[in-house]
Structure 1
Amino acid sequence: MPGFDKDRLNRIAGWMQSYVDDRRFAGASVLVAQGGREAYYHDCGLRDVASGLPWQRDTVARIYSMTKPVTSVALMMLAERGLIHLDAPLSDFIPSFKDMHCLRAGATSIDQTEACETPTLHQLLTHTSGLSYGFNPGVLGKAMAEQQIEFRGTKGTMAEMADRLSVLPLAFAPGTRWEYSVATDILGRVIEVITGKALEQVFIDEIFDPLGMNDTRFKVPAHAHDRFAACYTPLAGSAFSVGKVDKSAETLRELDGSAKSPFLHPQIQSGGGGLVGTIDDYLKFTEMMRTGGAGIIGPKTLAFMMRNHLGGDIASMGPRSFAEQPMEGTGFGLGGAIMLDPGRARAPGSIGDFSWGGMASTAFWIDPVNELSVIFFTQLIPSSSYPARPQLRALIHGALT
């Protein structure tokens, strides 16, 4: 196993500080572990610009879509117990998804549909289900945005939102394309149906308590209110749009403050993007995945999750949606992206890297070849604002000896 050149690794601090000095990020932290030992940690900047509070190691941040691997692990725990199989149709658990329709090829309105199969749990896990997001381009994304079908904040319940979504057609016949979607939110609801528990309670019982992830919850823990970061955007319009939006004159416009955030009192427990937590908590999760399950899930199940489940890379599946990662040279497993070809992905890495990120520019990857867990935390929406993720990959791989 290679080690690190310390001087090269220390370049990360200057790189992070430049983002803070240029007011691109308010604050940030990075944590690198190799072979189970901490190899590097650095933080800089502020967790709350208005109050001047520093970004620290125990800062609680919104991890958004880095929730998806947690939900995927929870679902696969149920598979290990024989409670589900991955080819089961979604309607077995949420009956309103029976008798599905999808948009016809070239559809220009939401009523131009044809009958199709109900997506399976495997198709939801791999974002090939035909579901979408309200910020995605296309007929379905537009309808979701107009009807405010979104699994976040204080808008309705998981069960209500799932049933509202089921009325809309799918963007395409399940299995025929790849589109980033609310599928993992729907899987969170499936977990609730199977277990009879709220999703957070399942996470606490099965993952958080066994791993000691005491600061990771859907609701900011009462003991961590004073450590909760504010979230910012450089955009003048909706920060949750990934299309063309005008930049704001203020590069750190506060979007979600630490004192009045919906994460202080969420109604929906979003399995696709609702968790908050600390960088050390998330390291416990990534290390569990990297080292074989820590006794909470089987190592063979994790190996199955962290392999490519698509026929090729994401690009070969005709994606038309936003994604957190490059689509060329990148496949998709159960809950995260898989590095197939670093050259085609245009990002340094090892074949088999498992990774994903969150809307607020957080990111992680697990490198099984170099025995790495790398986690980056900040709070800026959208994650497409700056090329921080490929830059961090280059810095870390450039430091390996």
Structure 2
Amino acid sequence: MTALEVDTDPAEVGFDAARLARLDRRLARWVDDGQLPGYLVTVARHGHLVHVSSAGYRDVEAGLPVERDTRWRIYSMTKPITSVAAMMLYEEGAFELSDPIAKWLPEFAETRVYVAGSALKPVTQPQVEPIRVRHLLTHTSGLTYGFHHAHPVDAMYRAAGHEWGTPAGADSAEVCRQWAVIPLVFQPGSEWNYGVSTDVLGRLVEVVSGLPLDEFFEQRIFRPLGMTDTSFGLREGDDVDSLARLYAAVPGQPGGAPTRFAPYDAMGAAAHAKPAFLSGGGGLVSTAGDYLRFVELLRRGGSYDGGRLLSTRTIGYMTRNHLPGDQDLETFGRPLFAETPLRGVGFGLGFSMVIDPVRYGVLSSLGDYSWGGAASTAFYVDPVEDVTVGFYTQLLPSSTLPIRNHLRQLVNQALAD
């Protein structure tokens, strides 16, 4: 197991330990109030882990506490790993960001674009602009998610078996073929919409590299970084009890009763074994210690103790706002579920980033970049303060509690230098 031990006194890197304790009290209150099953949080600065805390249970009903080596379904925190994988291939000259993806995934060459009508009788038109690699990395491809329930194309995804999962037995190649026959929500490059773009990017990595996505991750990312407990679902021999139970929010009753939660085993059981579909957008389970290694790779500009996965320049390019005219997600995107607030937040090649802290409305730094998962996991890197933060729990959906905003305000208020 990956060790997760504090290695430096917070004061040595500019944190006030008493103020950091406010973070624990706020998070523990959600556990004590029955709104959060359990959590684990990490805070590091200048590459030193200065704070690790946890409370509650990884399995409430079984009385199993959160432990430092607990495995978590990180869902969309898989996306930054897939984006790094793609950019590793980009650095090798395997493709240009402007290349049409149909060069490797020909099924997307003739994908139509929704114009009007219903899910049963859509009116479509041809692509004016092809889906390019950069559109997958920036979620401007026109692909969507079935669980949005915001557009007729979303309903078409659900009708095809794509909501919170994919049809049984379908692998990455088959899933992409199914998506390619459903219309795009808009012309590629014209808007931002959170969807299966990174899953398609994962398939692109497979085709370009000649390796299944799990093997590419293992050989090129996990093994070099020492991420020994990260995989697509549990592996043979893994202890099922090491994986936290998945919970779903149960809305409070009228009159102010708080939101509660209940086990969601029907969805949670999918992570008990390696799936047929290796979802580059949401398929990994990991530990806090493993993911910290990945986040520290980002903070260090692509380097790790044994070498380098990406150039510092590439990480810098990925974490700039790539939305046209430096717009934020609220302006260029659609008002629907995403793993981040939309005001004052831009999007790069695999990450969101704060482009206007005042408009964002949270104590944060310009250029702070991040992403999170559907079950309320989250991380961010603050390059101004040289801080990384990771948060782990298993509560669907991620919008249930304002965890991500609280992480920033309570970590930043504890900085004392």
- Separation in structure 2 between the aligned mates of residue 361 and residue 248 of structure 1, nearest angstrom: 21
1:39: Cα distance to partner? 1.6
Structure 1 partner of 2:5: none
Q: Alignment partner of 1:19: what SS?
A: helix
Q: Alignment partner of 1:165: what SS?
A: helix
Q: C-alpha deviations, 1:264-302, integer Å up to 9, x for none? A: 242211000010000011110010011021211111111
1:108: Cα distance to partner? 3.7
1:334: Cα distance to partner? 0.7
> Structure 1's 4 and 166: CA in aligned 2 closer, same or farther, altered over 3 A?
same
Structure 2 partner of 1:41: 52
1:397: Cα distance to partner? 1.1
- Aligned partner letter, 1:69: P
Instruction: Answer yes or no: is the 8 Å Cα contact 2:233–2:270 preserved in 1.
Output: no
- Separation in structure 2 between the aligned mates of residue 252 and residue 318 of structure 1, nearest angstrom: 30
- Aligned partner letter, 1:139: P
Instruction: Answer yes or no: is the 8 Å Cα contact 1:120–1:129 preserved in 2.
Output: yes
Instruction: Answer yes or no: is the 8 Å Cα contact 1:234–1:248 preserved in 2.
Output: no
- Aligned partner letter, 1:142: A
- Separation in structure 1 between the aligned mates of residue 272 and residue 111 of structure 2, nearest angstrom: 33
Alignment partner for residue 332 of structure 1, among 321, 333, 347? 347
- Aligned partner letter, 1:352: G
> Structure 1's 357 and 318: CA in aligned 2 closer, same or farther, altered over 3 A?
closer
How does 1:182-193 map onto structure 2 within 5 Å? 182-193=196-207
Q: Flag structure 1 segments of 5+ consecutive residues without an equivalent.
A: 237-246
Structure 1 partner of 2:215: 201
Q: C-alpha deviations, 1:40-59, integer Å up to 9, x for none? A: 11011100112111101110
Alignment partner for residue 129 of structure 1, among 119, 141, 153? 141
How does 1:154-233 map onto structure 2 within 5 Å? 154-221=168-235, 222-233=237-248
The yes-or-no answer on 1:118 pairing with 2:130 is: yes
Q: Alignment partner of 1:135: what SS?
A: helix
Structure 1 partner of 2:400: 385
1:203: Cα distance to partner? 0.4
Structure 2 partner of 1:143: 156
> Structure 1's 97 and 212: CA in aligned 2 closer, same or farther, altered over 3 A?
same
Structure 1 partner of 2:249: 234
Instruction: Answer yes or no: is the 8 Å Cα contact 1:348–1:394 preserved in 2.
Output: yes
Structure 2 partner of 1:244: none
Structure 2 partner of 1:57: 68
1:378: Cα distance to partner? 0.4
- Separation in structure 2 between the aligned mates of residue 9 and residue 192 of structure 1, nearest angstrom: 42
Q: C-alpha deviations, 1:357-379, integer Å up to 9, x for none? A: 10000000000000011000000
1:126: Cα distance to partner? 0.3
Structure 1 length as normaliser, TM-score?
Answer: 0.93
Instruction: Answer yes or no: is the 8 Å Cα contact 1:229–1:258 preserved in 2.
Output: no
Percent identity over the alignment is: 41
1:339: Cα distance to partner? 0.7
1:2: Cα distance to partner? 7.0
> Structure 1's 18 and 143: CA in aligned 2 closer, same or farther, altered over 3 A?
same
- Separation in structure 2 between the aligned mates of residue 5 and residue 250 of structure 1, nearest angstrom: 32
- Separation in structure 2 between the aligned mates of residue 283 and residue 258 of structure 1, nearest angstrom: 26
Q: Flag structure 2 segments of 5+ consecutive residues without an equivalent.
A: 1-11
Q: Alignment partner of 2:50: what SS?
A: strand
Q: C-alpha deviations, 1:138-167, integer Å up to 9, x for none? A: 011111012112584645111111001100
Instruction: Answer yes or no: is the 8 Å Cα contact 2:328–2:342 preserved in 1.
Output: yes
Alignment partner for residue 37 of structure 2, among 26, 29, 36? 26
1:258: Cα distance to partner? 11
Structure 2 partner of 1:303: 316
Cα-Cα RMSD: 2.1
- Aligned partner letter, 1:25: L
Instruction: Answer yes or no: is the 8 Å Cα contact 1:132–1:180 preserved in 2.
Output: yes
Structure 1 partner of 2:387: 372
1:223: Cα distance to partner? 3.5
Q: Alignment partner of 2:189: what SS?
A: coil
1:225: Cα distance to partner? 3.0
- Aligned partner letter, 2:196: V
Instruction: Answer yes or no: is the 8 Å Cα contact 1:235–1:248 preserved in 2.
Output: no
Structure 2 length as normaliser, TM-score?
Answer: 0.89
Instruction: Answer yes or no: is the 8 Å Cα contact 2:375–2:394 preserved in 1.
Output: yes
Q: Alignment partner of 1:163: what SS?
A: helix
Matched positions, count: 390
- Aligned partner letter, 2:219: D
Instruction: Answer yes or no: is the 8 Å Cα contact 2:74–2:286 preserved in 1.
Output: yes
> Structure 1's 215 and 162: CA in aligned 2 closer, same or farther, altered over 3 A?
same
Structure 1 residue ranges, 4+ long, deviating more than 6 angstroms after superposition: 247-250
- Separation in structure 1 between the aligned mates of residue 201 and residue 84 of structure 2, nearest angstrom: 11
1:197: Cα distance to partner? 1.1
1:18: Cα distance to partner? 0.9
Q: Alignment partner of 2:122: what SS?
A: coil
> Structure 1's 224 and 288: CA in aligned 2 closer, same or farther, altered over 3 A?
farther
Q: Alignment partner of 1:284: what SS?
A: helix
- Aligned partner letter, 1:146: A
